[in-house]
Amino acid sequence: MARRKQAVTIKHVAADAGVSLQTVSRVINKEPNVRPAMRERVQASIEKLGYVPSIAAQRMSGSRSYLIMALNDRERTIADWEKREGTDWVDQMMFGGMLTCAEHGYRLIVELIDTHSDHIERELLAAIAALQPDGVILTPPHSQNRQIVDLLDEHNITIARIGSLTGGPGLRLTMDDERAARLATEHLLALGHTRVGFIAGSPEYELSAWRVDGWRTAMAAAGLDLEGLLAESDFSLASGERAAVRLLDGDAPATAIIASNDQTALGLLNVVRSRGLDVPDDLSVISFDDTPVVRFGYPPLTAIEQPIANVTARAVELIIAARAGEKPPASPQVVPAGLVVRESTAAPKRRR
């Protein structure tokens, strides 16, 4: 096959502007030490010829690939895609990530990696070797996976970790899950609930604990007892059902329940329905994911809205800034999640 060549290269620009390649390169990379007049002349040629640098060539010679890799959990992502229930983690990451990347001449490329796998190292090394990304955005559970984080760090790749604050290298970002849980709890308390149950997320996720903390804090501030109000889950629908049974079967059942994600919220709703209970009359429900099932189901659930696009955008900015030599922020970056009130929460009406 014919060697496919770049239509207009740095050479053409250099020739057109009557300068050397280096000067053009310097202008492209916004390096200092170029006289304004020269810079303008080159810029004009670039525009005139419609020159755009080849990222492959940039990667080959320089230290930058202009590629940022968004690393997601393969199993979970594929499961979501297969279900077609509208879970939009990946979309929102692209939304925030792609657009922000574009502003800086970078591209976002999505990769899926198995979490629970012995060949995780091989997979990741392969992706690194093939792409040589400048930065990687990690989401849970990868963001707290020390093996992944360390491996990337050894390869001198800038890391942005969303939803993990544990040790190791990398920039940290959170959506302040603790605060979000607090907001949700306070919303229910304000409605008059005193027995607010909480379905904790999978203990394998750091943020599960943060959410429990938020709930606990809000309950404690109101002087309320937590006895029998905390149930575990692994984020699955089935575990949500089991948790719901536990929270509703005690002597003093919960009158409101916060679920740590949409699946457990759905499991909870299954149990509620099977018992002929009404939401929100008999039980108020809050989901920690604002996915379409949650929004369009009946009733539309009050939910925590996670600003995935915004954290990802922030992550991209941090990575690019770090590459540009800026000192990374000392503390974790917070892009707080909010609460969207819908029809699944109300004052506790009936006595049971």
For residue 28, the minimal CB distance to a second copy (Å) is 12
Residue nearer to DNA on the CB measure, 51 or 210? 51
Query: What does 166 bind: a second copy, DNA, none (CB cut-off 5 to 8 Å by kind)?
Result: none
Q: Which residues, at least 6 apart from 77, have a Cβ–Cβ distance to it below 8 Å?
A: 89, 90, 112
For residue 59, the minimal CB distance to a second copy (Å) is 4
Query: What does 86 bind: DNA, a second copy, none (CB cut-off 5 to 8 Å by kind)?
Result: a second copy
In 3D, which of 308, 310, 313 has the Cα closest to residue 289? 308
By the 8 A CB rule, do 197 and 247 touch?
yes
By the 8 A CB rule, do 135 and 158 touch?
yes
For residue 322, the minimal CB distance to a second copy (Å) is 11
Q: Which of residues 130-189 bind a second copy (CB under 8 A)?
A: 130-132, 155-156
For residue 216, the minimal CB distance to a second copy (Å) is 30
Q: Which residues on adjacent β-strands are paired with residue 161?
A: 138, 172
Binding track, positions 95-114, relative to a second copy; x by CB under 8 A: x--xx-------x-xx-x--
156 binds DNA (CB under 7 A): no
12 binds a second copy (CB under 8 A): no
Q: At what angle do helices 262-274 and 237-249 cross, to 10 degrees?
A: 50
Query: What does 21 bind: a second copy, DNA, none (CB cut-off 5 to 8 Å by kind)?
Result: DNA
Q: Which stretch binds a second copy (CB under 8 A): 19-27, 82-90, 136-144, 268-276?
A: 82-90
44 binds a second copy (CB under 8 A): no
Q: Which of residues 272-301 bind a second copy (CB under 8 A)?
A: 290-293, 295-298
Among 15, 38, 224, 226, binds DNA (CB under 7 A): 38
Query: What does 35 bind: DNA, a second copy, none (CB cut-off 5 to 8 Å by kind)?
Result: DNA
Among 309, 313, 335, 346, binds a second copy (CB under 8 A): 309
Residue nearer to a second copy on the CB measure, 41 or 295? 295
Q: Which residues, at least 6 apart from 30, have a Cβ–Cβ distance to it below 8 Å?
A: none
Query: What does 292 bind: a second copy, DNA, none (CB cut-off 5 to 8 Å by kind)?
Result: a second copy
Query: What does 185 bind: a second copy, DNA, none (CB cut-off 5 to 8 Å by kind)?
Result: none
Residue ranges binding DNA (CB under 7 A): 1-3, 5-6, 9-11, 19-26, 28-29, 32-35, 37-39, 51, 53-54, 57-58, 60-64
Which residues make up the interface to a second copy (CB under 8 A)? 1-4, 6-8, 50-57, 59-60, 62-65, 78, 80-82, 84-88, 90-92, 94-95, 98-99, 107, 109-110, 112, 122, 125-126, 128-132, 155-156, 290-293, 295-298, 309, 323, 325
